[in-house]
């Protein structure tokens, strides 16, 4: 048996089982639980950890000043832990909760959008968390802490920021799925969908009503011809160019693209398709079309005016038929074709071309709005036409308003119809 003065000090043992020189983070395999040392403290978790030098150990007795460790190869080591002043990671002193040198610890309550193994400061804890689940980890050392979740595939997703764990306190942290490339996180909320009676050129089907939508990811840009061709192996567009939006695509074409791209990227397709019958699985993490409510909520970007640009929109802000401006304002350019995605400034939430360029297919069957408050509406249960939104390169300015509704048969293809992608918040 040997005694050492600190967990941070050297572990001493006779050959051939020398642990001399190992310090700071000593991994142990414990009875019933696993754990590992940090500076002046021992944290327990249900993880499969290795002891220093790969030597498995078990705690056979513990009191305030000693840990009795029995190495499974038969050698006994005693670690004497005299009263110490616990230290923060920068070496500065912190108050110790007991004269026995037991370190100050707090707890972490973790919510994760991904399922997998919880990791703290790069070390697997052994605690599993379900997607959208919550787990509380006790006895976490105080200090700035990094939290992550390691999926079964090996992919590691870190919390967006480190958190400060304080002695005797709990802290919450959320591990979000990383935002897909060229997507924007749209935080859910409640808004007034439709338009007020006072809005110029409003239509009768724009009945204002309160709608709540959940959070989701939305593509910054309309799907380009380059993206479409790479997935579907063809480009049906009238106006050719890799960075132009794909057009002359039907609603069914857009659904097929969503599913094929999802499959290629290892995601669960959002749609099941049997002929012309399409069902949407809202729990799938694959690509999909926005609902009409999601589209208008995102297009407004927190605004309540006819356009996200305010009470007017010009051809320097969007691609439309400038011969027909809004509210008799000064005419602008009529380009008579699509423009590359992202050619104009984005709306307040970082989305490009929500007004003009190409109309964008939505999930919903077209039907009258309900006058009641709605929570994540999916549109009419049945119908003959699917909604598309936003106006196009050929539209008058009044048809670019955030509230305007357009609809066509889902098999319809024209050079002013395209789409953009959405993924659900659990993606």
CATH code of the domain covering residue 399: 3.90.1580.10
Scored b (16 or more CB within 10 A) or e, 283-305 reads ebbbbbbbbbbbbbbbbbbebee
Q: Please check whether residues 212 and 332 belong to one and the same domain.
A: yes
259 phi and psi angles, rounded to 5 deg: -70, -45
Give CA–CA dist 151/129, Å, rounded. Answer: 10
pLDDT tens figures, 154-166? 888 888 889 999 9
What is the per-residue pLDDT for 254? 98
Reply yes or no on whether the pLDDT at 420 is more than 80.
yes
As a whole number, the mean pLDDT across the chain is 80
Query: Which DSSP helix (H) or strand (E) runs through 261?
Result: helix 251-264
Instruction: Tell me the pLDDT band of 267, cut-offs 50, 70 and 90.
Output: confident
> Count of CB atoms within 10 A of residue 404's CB?
22
Tokens of 344: 């104009």
Distance between CA atoms of 401 and 404, rounded to whole angstroms?
A: 5
Which pLDDT belongs to residue 349?
97
pLDDT value of position 103: 58
| Residues in CB range of 339: below 8 A, 6 or more apart | 244, 319, 357, 393
In the listed set 151, 175, 199, which residue is the last one of a domain according to the structure?
175
Do residue 64 and residue 130 come from a single domain? no
Q: Which of 75, 102, 129 is the last residue of a domain?
A: 102
Q: Residue 163: give its domain's CATH number.
A: 2.60.40.10
Task: Please state, in angstroms and as integers, the Cα–Cα distance from residue 185 to each residue in 101, 176, 220, 307, following that order.
Answer: 46, 11, 10, 21
Q: Are residues 97 and 112 in the same domain?
A: no
> Are 282 and 198 found together in one domain?
yes
Structurally, the chain folds into a number of domains equal to 3
Q: Is 17 helix (H, G, I), strand (E, B) or coil?
A: coil
Q: Residue 70 is part of which domain span?
A: 1-102
Rounded CA separation 73/57 (Å):
9
Lowest mean pLDDT among 88-102, 125-139, 164-178: 88-102
Tell me what pLDDT residue 45 has.
Answer: 30
Q: What is the pLDDT of residue 426?
A: 60
Q: What is the pLDDT of residues 82-122, one digit of tens each?
A: 333 334 444 444 443 443 444 578 999 999 878 899 999 99
Give the span between the Cα atoms of 312 and 201, in whole angstroms.
12
Same domain (yes/no): 82, 209:
no
pLDDT in tens, 17-39: 333 332 323 333 333 333 333 32
- Indicate whether 300 and 342 sit together in one domain: yes
Quick one: pLDDT at residue 389?
98
324-344 pLDDT, tens digit per residue, is 999 999 999 999 999 999 999
Tell me the pLDDT tens digit for each residue of 307-327.
999 999 999 999 999 999 999
Do 77 and 158 lie in one domain? The reply is no
One domain for residues 336 and 383: yes
54-82 pLDDT, tens per residue?
333 333 333 333 333 333 333 334 443 33
């Amino acid at each position: 048996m040997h005694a050492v003065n600190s967990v941070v000090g050297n572990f001493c043992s006779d050959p051939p089982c020398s642990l001399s020189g190992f310090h700071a983070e000593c991994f142990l395999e414990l009875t019933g639980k696993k754990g590992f040392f940090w500076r002046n403290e021992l944290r327990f978790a249900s993880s499969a950890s290795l002891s220093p030098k790969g030597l498995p150990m078990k705690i056979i007795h513990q009191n305030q000043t000693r840990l009795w460790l029995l190495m499974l190869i038969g050698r006994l080591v005693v670690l004497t832990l005299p009263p110490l002043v616990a230290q923060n990671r920068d070496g500065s002193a912190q108050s110790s909760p007991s004269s026995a040198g037991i370190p100050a610890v707090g707890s972490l309550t973790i919510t994760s959008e991904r399922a997998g193994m919880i990791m703290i400061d790069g070390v697997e804890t052994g605690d599993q968390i379900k997607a959208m689940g919550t787990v509380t980890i006790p006895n976490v050392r105080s200090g700035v802490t990094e939290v992550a979740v390691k999926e079964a595939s090996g992919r590691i997703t870190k919390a967006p920021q480190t958190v400060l764990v304080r002695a005797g306190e709990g802290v919450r942290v959320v591990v979000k799925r990383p935002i897909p490339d060229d997507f924007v996180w749209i935080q859910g909320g409640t808004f007034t969908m439709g338009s007020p009676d006072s809005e110029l050129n409003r239509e009768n089907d724009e009945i204002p009503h309160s709608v709540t939508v959940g959070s989701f990811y939305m593509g910054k840009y309309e799907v380009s011809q380059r993206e479409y061709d790479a997935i579907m192996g063809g480009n049906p567009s009238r106006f050719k160019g890799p960075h132009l939006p794909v057009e002359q695509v039907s609603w069914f074409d857009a659904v097929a693209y969503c599913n094929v791209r999802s499959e290629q990227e290892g995601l669960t397709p959002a749609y099941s398709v049997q002929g012309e019958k399409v069902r949407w699985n809202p729990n799938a993490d694959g690509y999909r079309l926005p609902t009409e409510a999601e589209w208008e909520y995102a297009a407004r970007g927190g605004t309540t005016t006819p356009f996200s640009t305010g009470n007017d929109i010009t051809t320097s802000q969007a691609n439309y038929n400038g011969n027909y401006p809004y509210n008799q304002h000064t005419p602008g350019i009529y380009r008579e074709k699509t423009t590359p995605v992202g050619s104009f400034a984005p709306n307040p939430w970082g989305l490009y071309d929500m007004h003009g360029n190409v109309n964008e297919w939505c999930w919903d069957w077209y039907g009258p709005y309900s006058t009641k408050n709605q929570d994540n509406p999916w549109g009419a249960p049945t119908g003959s036409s699917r909604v598309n939104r936003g106006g196009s390169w050929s539209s008058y300015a009044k048809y670019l308003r955030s509230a305007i509704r357009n609809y066509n048969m889902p098999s319809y293809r024209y050079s002013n119809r395209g789409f953009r992608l959405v993924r659900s918040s659990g993606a």
